[in-house]
Structure 1
Amino acid sequence: MLHHSHRVPMRQALALIAFMAAGLLLAWAVPIWTGFERIENYVPIHTMLEMVAVVIGVLVFACGWNAYSRALPRHAVVLACAFLGVAMLDFAHALSFVGMPHFITPSGPQKAIHFWLAARLLAASALLLVAMLPPGRAVSGRGRFAWLFGVLLAVAGCYWVFLFHPGWMPETYRPGTGLTAFKIGAEYLIISMNLAAAWLLYMQMQRPLPFNAAALFGAVCAMAMSECFFTLYATLSDVYNFTGHVYKVVSYLFLYRAVFVEVIEEPYREMALMGDQLRATLDAVPDVMLELDLLGRYHAVHSSRPETLIRPPDELLGKTIRDVMPADQALVVTTAMEEALTKGTSAGAQLELELADGPHWFELSVSRKGGACGPDTRFIVLSRDITERKQAESALLERQAMMKASEAKSEFLSRVSHELRTPLNAVIGFAQLLLHDANGRMAAGQRLHVEYILRAGQHLLEMINDILDLTRIESGDGGLTM
């Protein structure tokens, strides 16, 4: 069963393949139409179709060779190098076709068909290799040059044999009788290779793949159907030959789509996806993100909470921090940027700004953008609202102060209890002894003074005890009785 990532492109490819297969079946079932046994002025039509194929082959090479990644996928390198060779062979085939001027040596059907078969074999071999190799492998810079050199060497060998030693090759076409058994057998070999590649690609599509396998599947199926037409033609300019070339162009378009999507469209899709993920991440982060230059000018502003901005983003862009902040707060930002300029980063700077809902505290993290320092240096500034943290710190300091005050009070009361109540009890006790022991022996005035001392001491002791009782009640160690 196809993996879900291939289903939509596979349905699109199968729709076109089914239409092309219907055309092929119609060509097999219906005799060639009268008047189409030979197309007049076929040479320019043939040349145009071949040049379209050559251009597409070169585009496949350009897209695959100049891809966005240094470590190119192996299948992209194989297809790029192979179809540069295919384009060169197709070009030679077009120039060698019957009716064309001499291409180094006289043009003719044998020469044209030899270049044709070489191009088709190279294309089918490359696609079969891509279908057979494990996906996901990368090719280094040296590796891709090795593939390119190998293909160019093979193409050069074909040119040398077909141009200067055509007698080494078997006969492929006989005027009056048509295609030879060798030519038809070679075409069926190419068809078999393309069908094998189609089957292998279909089996690979049971799992996700790093390339557009559906487009490659369409390419090999279209190539196989194209080759079927080249087993049917009797003359080099009949409708079968023409239709086969049209099918070949369609197969090249499938291939170009596969390579173009992977090396051109897919990186942009990945970049767009990464952009969406980055925006989602930034929206989830409570920090304000700013991009400033050396002058403190705003170049970008992002915040998921606009209420934490000193002004709306469109009012900040183009202005400097000195335009929108008090001088002392702008100095904090400037100092952090200067530290980031020399060290690369800065963290921990704090400033207080007056916003619409009151004062807010912010902590800055600054990073120099890029490695080089210069007049165009930019800084990424993350500003985190730490108002709640500052409030918590303030509340903690207040609690600590209260605890210290409570400890001081406890120490004071301990001293009161020990250093005042103890000697006061002694004073009261001695006053009571004086009154008891000196009863009748003490003058009235003296007795009055001792009684005054006793009353004052008892009153002071009661006040001290009341203070200690209130303290115990405040601390929860005591209670009231009615």
Structure 2
Amino acid sequence: MRKYHNTADQHQTEHPAWIFSSAIGIIGLAGLVIVSRHNFLLFHGLAELFSISVAWAVFFLVWNTRHVTDADSLVFVGIAYFFIGIVDLLHTLAYKGMGVFSSHWGANLPTQLWVLARYMESASLILFPLLFRKKIQPTLIFGCWAGATLLLLGTIFFWRVFPDCYIEGTGLTRFKIFSEYIICILLGIALMLLHIRKGMVDTVVFRLLALSIIMTICAELAFTFYVSVYGFSNLLGHFFKIISL
């Protein structure tokens, strides 16, 4: 009986926190809708900075607890999100209208950076369940991600061999559209692997990650339709991305 009352009390305590968090989230999304109707560039910056801050918060959390945790797979994905956040930050700064990079890059550069970040994210999420109950060397993994990120960015900024993703006046290239579908498939594989190995991870973590992956897939599908970087599909995709966090 005492156990029952403790459980009931715990649920009663959790409900207000859940309701409060949901209310804050709804208010935040409503605020972003209003901002997007008046200044899409500001909306995009806020949406991306939010996702970047979450990615880096995950990294700093797992990095500072790496010596006391047995969940090395979480350390791996946290490190991955640190570098994904860096690419997303470059994407944000390169967005059309920001004026940080030379105008000759146009809308192609931020779109290339977006695709690159999503490939990195999908790859890390596939590897995540494969690393359950395995030991890694965080410093080595950090170095590998750093080197890989520099090389991948080099294909865009220095060697310029990364395929075009957006052409002014035409819209998305075939490479960009196909990449979004490929990324969705990779995320689907990650979700399948996560489901197969869900017994190796905490139930709450599994549910949150599964929901996050599903929302990310929805975001990627939305990003296959837009013609303008300020269009509705682009807006919808960013909302899905925010929800996935």
TM range (shorter): 0.7 to 0.9
* Residue matched to 2:8: none
CA pair 54-107 structure 1, distance change in 2 beyond 3 A: farther
Aligned residues: 211
The letter for the 1-side match of 2:134 is R
Q: Is the 8 A contact 1:115 1:158 kept in 2?
A: no
* Residue matched to 1:65: 63
* Counterpart Cα distance in 2 of 1:233 and 1:105: 21
- Give the C-alpha shift of residue 39 in structure 1: 5.8
Q: Is the 8 A contact 1:101 1:107 kept in 2?
A: no
Note if 1:147 corresponds to 2:141: yes
Note if 1:193 corresponds to 2:186: yes
Note if 1:209 corresponds to 2:236: no
When normalised by structure 1's length, the TM-score is 0.41
Matches within 5 A, 1:4-403: 41-67=39-65, 69-70=67-68, 72-103=70-101, 107-131=105-129, 133-139=130-136, 143-166=137-160, 168-205=161-198, 207-210=199-202, 212-251=205-244, 253=245
* Counterpart Cα distance in 1 of 2:196 and 2:165: 35
Q: Which has the larger Rg?
A: 1
- Give the C-alpha shift of residue 72 in structure 1: 4.3
- Give the C-alpha shift of residue 107 in structure 1: 4.6
Q: For residues 122-174 of structure 1, what are the alpha-carbon distances to aligned partners after superposition, in whole Å with 9 as ceiling and x for unaligned?
A: 1111111112x1522233xxx101111111112222333322333x1222112
- Give the C-alpha shift of residue 61 in structure 1: 0.4
CA pair 165-128 structure 1, distance change in 2 beyond 3 A: same
Q: Is the 8 A contact 1:135 1:210 kept in 2?
A: no
Q: Is the 8 A contact 2:166 2:176 kept in 1?
A: yes
Q: Is the 8 A contact 1:65 1:77 kept in 2?
A: yes
Q: Is the 8 A contact 2:180 2:224 kept in 1?
A: yes
The letter for the 2-side match of 1:245 is H
CA pair 180-241 structure 1, distance change in 2 beyond 3 A: same
CA pair 106-58 structure 1, distance change in 2 beyond 3 A: farther
* Counterpart Cα distance in 1 of 2:103 and 2:150: 16
* Residue matched to 1:273: none
Percent sequence identity over aligned pairs: 24
* Counterpart Cα distance in 2 of 1:160 and 1:54: 21
* Counterpart Cα distance in 2 of 1:217 and 1:189: 18
Q: For residues 446-468 of structure 1, what are the alpha-carbon distances to aligned partners after superposition, in whole Å with 9 as ceiling and x for unaligned?
A: xxxxxxxxxxxxxxxxxxxxxxx
When normalised by structure 2's length, the TM-score is 0.79
* Residue matched to 1:470: none
CA pair 199-42 structure 1, distance change in 2 beyond 3 A: same
The worse-fitting range, judged by mean Cα deviation, of 196-205 and 109-118 is: 196-205
* Counterpart Cα distance in 2 of 1:217 and 1:102: 36
Q: For residues 163-189 of structure 1, what are the alpha-carbon distances to aligned partners after superposition, in whole Å with 9 as ceiling and x for unaligned?
A: 2333x1222112222111110000001
* Counterpart Cα distance in 2 of 1:191 and 1:217: 13
The letter for the 2-side match of 1:150 is C
SS in 2 for 1:137: coil
The letter for the 2-side match of 1:209 is V
CA pair 95-106 structure 1, distance change in 2 beyond 3 A: farther
The letter for the 2-side match of 1:227 is E
Q: For residues 271-290 of structure 1, what are the alpha-carbon distances to aligned partners after superposition, in whole Å with 9 as ceiling and x for unaligned?
A: xxxxxxxxxxxxxxxxxxxx
Q: Which has the higher contact order (CA 8 A, sep 6+)?
A: 2
User: Which structure has the highest strand share of the two?
Assistant: 1
Q: Is the 8 A contact 2:66 2:72 kept in 1?
A: no
- Give the C-alpha shift of residue 208 in structure 1: 4.9
The letter for the 2-side match of 1:51 is L
CA pair 104-177 structure 1, distance change in 2 beyond 3 A: closer
- Give the C-alpha shift of residue 106 in structure 1: 5.1
SS in 2 for 1:201: helix
Q: Supply the RMSD in Å over aligned alpha carbons.
A: 2.3
CA pair 134-170 structure 1, distance change in 2 beyond 3 A: closer
Q: What 5-or-longer segments of structure 1 have no aligned partner?
A: 1-11, 17-37, 254-482
CA pair 41-204 structure 1, distance change in 2 beyond 3 A: same
* Counterpart Cα distance in 2 of 1:158 and 1:105: 22
Q: What 5-or-longer segments of structure 2 have no aligned partner?
A: 1-17, 23-35
Q: Is the 8 A contact 1:97 1:107 kept in 2?
A: no
CA pair 191-185 structure 1, distance change in 2 beyond 3 A: same
- Give the C-alpha shift of residue 102 in structure 1: 2.9
Q: Is the 8 A contact 2:106 2:168 kept in 1?
A: no
* Residue matched to 1:389: none
* Counterpart Cα distance in 2 of 1:154 and 1:106: 26
